[in-house]
Amino acid sequence: MDLRAALATHRLLAIVRGTDPEAAVRTVLTLAEEGVELIEVSLTGADALSVIERARKELGPDRPLGAGTVLTADDARAARRAGANFAVTPALGDGIREAHRLGLPVLAGVMTPTEILAARPLGAAALKIFPAAEAGGPAYLKALRGPFPHELFVPVGGVDEAAARAYLDAGATAVGVGSPLVGDAADGGSQSALRTRARALLTVVRKASFAGEAS
C-alpha cells in the first residue's frame, strides 16, 4: 500500500490496543464500518497477532490494517504473517528495516531532528511524532516543519478532537488517535459510544482536509 498517500488522504489513524481480543476485533470492524480507513492494532494488546489475523479475514486483502508497537525484526515478520500491510513503531529500531525489507511501509516514531534525519535511511515512509503532547504539542510540530517541510508528520499521544484540529492546522499530515477515540471499546466497552466518537473525530479531520485543499 501507499502509506504516504493514505495518510495524506484520510488524515486519521486509529490505534486499537485492548485487553479483550474479541472486543478488539469488533472495535476494528466498527471503526472500518464508520469510515475510518487507517487502523493500527498495537502488538502490546492481548493476543494482538490473532486480532490482526481475524480482522484481516473480515476486512479482505486490500483494506489498510497496520501493526503497531513494532520494535524488533521478529515483530515485523510476525505482523506480516498475520496480515498487516503497514507497520508503526514508537522509535527507531530493527523493526523498521525488516518491515521495509518485507514490503511493509513504516510510520516510524521520532521525537528529535536527529531522529528525523536517521529515519529515512532506515526505510521510514512517514514520521510519527511520539509522544506528541510531551514533545511540545502543535507548536513543536510547526517548528519541525521549518527545517523539514517535505516530511509527513503524524503526531500521536494525547490527541483528542481539539488537539487533532490544532495539529492539522499546524501542518500535520494526519493524526494518530488511541484512547480518546477507542475508549474502553477494545476492553469490552460500548461499541455504540465508539461509533459516536468515530463520527465526531472524522468530522474534524474531514473539515481539516477540505480546508487544506481549498488553500
What is the set of active-site residues? 40, 128
Q: Looking up cell 486483502, which residue turns up?
A: 61
CA angle 197, 186, 133 (to 5 degrees): 60
Contacts of 188 (CB under 8 A, 6+ apart): 19, 20, 23
Locate 117 and state its grid cell.
534525519
Locate 52 and state its grid cell.
490482526
CB 189 within 8 A of CB 20: no
Q: Please report the sign of the dihedral spanned by the C-alpha atoms of residue 23, residue 153, residue 72, residue 122.
A: positive
CB 53 within 8 A of CB 80: no
Q: Please report the sign of the dihedral spanned by the C-alpha atoms of residue 117, residue 121, residue 127, residue 128.
A: negative
Burial (CB count within 10 angstroms: exposed 0-12, middle 13-18, buried 19+), residue 160: middle
Q: Which of 137, 97, 129 is nearest to 113 (CA)?
A: 129
Locate 172 and state its grid cell.
500535520
Locate 182 and state its grid cell.
477507542
